[in-house]
């Protein structure tokens, strides 16, 4: 952990899926209050494998998952990870994993 000026942030990191059927055009990152919250979607470029979420609620647990997207659409969903914001000002990093084989089907 490193000091973070804003306790309402979480940084997400992920590695590309091992198997992609087609050209990767984006990642869709979903986050929600865990459990039971409604997911919010953020889209990032395919070269980006991390995202800092800001404006989150302090002392709150969040869930996260990522999908890899090609021109046909979104592929398999990553494993859902969780992380919590902390009013103490520490920076939390959440690592998100795709299952061993993640496929995006092209038509």
Task: Please name every residue paired with 81 in a beta bridge, in sequence order, or none if there are none.
Answer: 64
pLDDT of 40 reads: 95
pLDDT of 10 reads: 84
Asked if the model's pLDDT at residue 83 lies above 60, the reply is yes
Which residue in 6, 90, 86 sits closest to 54, CA to CA? 6
Q: How confident is the model at residue 87 (pLDDT cuts 50, 70, 90)?
A: low
* Length of the chain as a residue count: 107
Determine contact, residues 56/17, Cβ cutoff 8 Å: no
Asked if the model's pLDDT at residue 50 lies above 50, the reply is yes
Q: Find the mean pLDDT for residues 60-83.
A: 87
Distance, CA of 76 to CA of 25 (rounded, Å)? 14
Strand, coil or helix: 75: strand
- pLDDT (tens digit per residue) in 55-71: 888 888 889 899 988 88
Q: What's the CA dihedral at 27, 54, 80, 47 to 10 degrees?
A: 20
Of 3-17, 20-34, 75-89, highest mean pLDDT: 20-34
């Amino acid at each position: 952990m490193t000091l973070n000026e804003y306790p309402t942030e979480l940084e997400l990191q992920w590695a590309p899926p091992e198997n992609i059927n087609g050209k990767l055009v984006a990642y869709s990152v979903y986050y929600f209050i865990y459990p039971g919250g409604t997911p919010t979607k953020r889209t990032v470029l395919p070269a980006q494998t991390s995202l800092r979420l800001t404006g989150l609620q302090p002392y709150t647990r969040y869930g996260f998952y990522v999908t890899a997207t090609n021109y046909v659409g979104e592929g398999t969903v990553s494993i859902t990870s969780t992380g919590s914001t902390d009013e103490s000002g520490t920076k939390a990093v959440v690592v998100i994993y795709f299952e061993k084989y993640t496929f995006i089907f092209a038509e």
